[in-house]
Amino acid sequence: MTDPLTIIVHGYPAPQGSKRTGRTKKGVGYTVEANKIPVDRWRSDVKDAALKAMRSRFPYEDRNPLDGPVYVRIAFTFTRPAGHYGTGRNADKLKDTAPAAPVTKGDLDKLARSTFDALTAAGVWRDDKYVVASYLTKVWAGDITEPDALDINGAVIRIEQHQSCPF
């Protein structure tokens, strides 16, 4: 692959990680995601976007999963909460106290875990063990300093397979 495979995902990035256990009234144990954000929807959004990108990039015969070392760059985009902006005539201005970067729920490693699992399910690669380097970032929607920032919640994923790391 010479140019990176670029996948643009629209949806709220959800982390995958911590699990919680419990028991039903009949004493049967169960395990569920501890996150309040629905990770299944995010994984589905990533898988759908990956399949669309692969269909447009590769002819059907060349859609084999990557099976060598890959380098991944992901910019997770989050929209700013309304509380970061002023009110009234200042409604379009950021408050001085608004954080410069998203310190939102979802550790980067857990966001990557849910995204990598979805890319595996989409057949982008055989297994996420092939990821040998990654650059992960969380950015605000519309951030002009980040070229991969979207205008809405989502992510831009770039995947490249070759001998030298692109970043």
**Cα within 13 Å of Cα(94), Cβ side:** 11
Under DSSP, the state recorded for 66 is B
What confidence score (pLDDT) does residue 34 get? 56
* pLDDT average per 10 residues of sequence, the chain (167 residues): 86 82 68 68 97 86 81 95 89 87 84 96 94 95 92 96 63
Indicate the residue type of 16.
Q
Q: Which two tokens stand for residue 29?
A: 């144990």
What confidence score (pLDDT) does residue 32 get? 60
What confidence score (pLDDT) does residue 167 get? 55
139 touches 146 (CB < 8 A): yes
- Give domain limits for the chain: 5-160
114 touches 45 (CB < 8 A): no
pTM (two decimals): 0.83
**Arch. (CATH architecture) of 5-160:** 2-Layer Sandwich (3.30)
